[in-house]
Structure 1
Amino acid sequence: MRIGLYPGTFDPVTHGHIDIIRRACTLVDRLVIGVAINRDKGPMFSLEERLAMVEAECRYLSEATGTEIVAHPFENLLIDCARDVGAQMIVRGLRAVADFEYEFQMVGMNRTLDPEIETVFLMADAQHQAIASKLVKEIARLGGDISHFVTPTVARSLMDKLGRG
């Protein structure tokens, strides 16, 4: 069984994340969405809320692709999380050159820690390249239209979180 790990904070999950997840499903039999417990980033949504959002948004993808998709919280090293879930590959999405430079460093470090686990990069679809969770939250906070960036369910969750539901 080919198992991949797609890690992130998913605060909140966006159309860009969903695009990468959909495409990663063509590469693996089981895709683990590693939802990072990253206290330094100060996420808007709790871990439980982020896990629930990821699970809800991926349910239809799992059914449509036949790929098992599971959400898994983690707080340890990414490479240790990959080992914990039995992943042979780490899936990363790239939006721009700035993403590549950071990811390039991460790959080098991860290959040193475990050369058996590959990292696979998927370029974000052109319509999703500008989407970043941080910017989606900022647009929502300032009253802008986020419908192009997240699903209606996630948009409602954001508005509820901001007290505008």
Structure 2
Amino acid sequence: MGAKILVSACLMGHAVRYDGRAKPLAHPALDRWLAEGRLITICPEMSAGMPVPRLPAEIEPGKSAAEVLSGGARVLEINGDDVTAEFRQAAENALALALETGCAYALLIDGSPSCGSGFIYDGSFSGRRRPGEGVTAALLKAHGIQVFSDRDIDALVEVLGSTV
């Protein structure tokens, strides 16, 4: 069996996103990895007890996931409620699962304040994107797990092709 991959549950068709929907990713590699038993599925927010659906949340404007992890920034819901503790717990849960199951890679949905790895939303709840990563993606990367977004699955396929 090849390397294990932690994957966002929404990408696997589970309706776990904040809006109660899935965002399934159709790619032949996912089917192959699933058949090979290489995928470890998680929704970090649900693992931390957050409901589905839930209010949209974003990292504070101008702040980073690293600052959330160090206590210098917050994750806020659209109504202003602070859900930083939940997002930090979600990241810790995802990291624990990845380490426990031997995941060297993660395939996460981009844009999420938890799973984003290329972009996140700017904290204004206006739909504007900015470069950055979510709290879970940042924690996984800090522990040596290579993180790929759903938009970069072909890059993950290339990496795994040379390491399988």
TM range (shorter): 0.3 to 0.5
**Structure (1 or 2) with the greater helix fraction:** 1
The normalised TM-score by structure 2 is 0.40
The normalised TM-score by structure 1 is 0.39
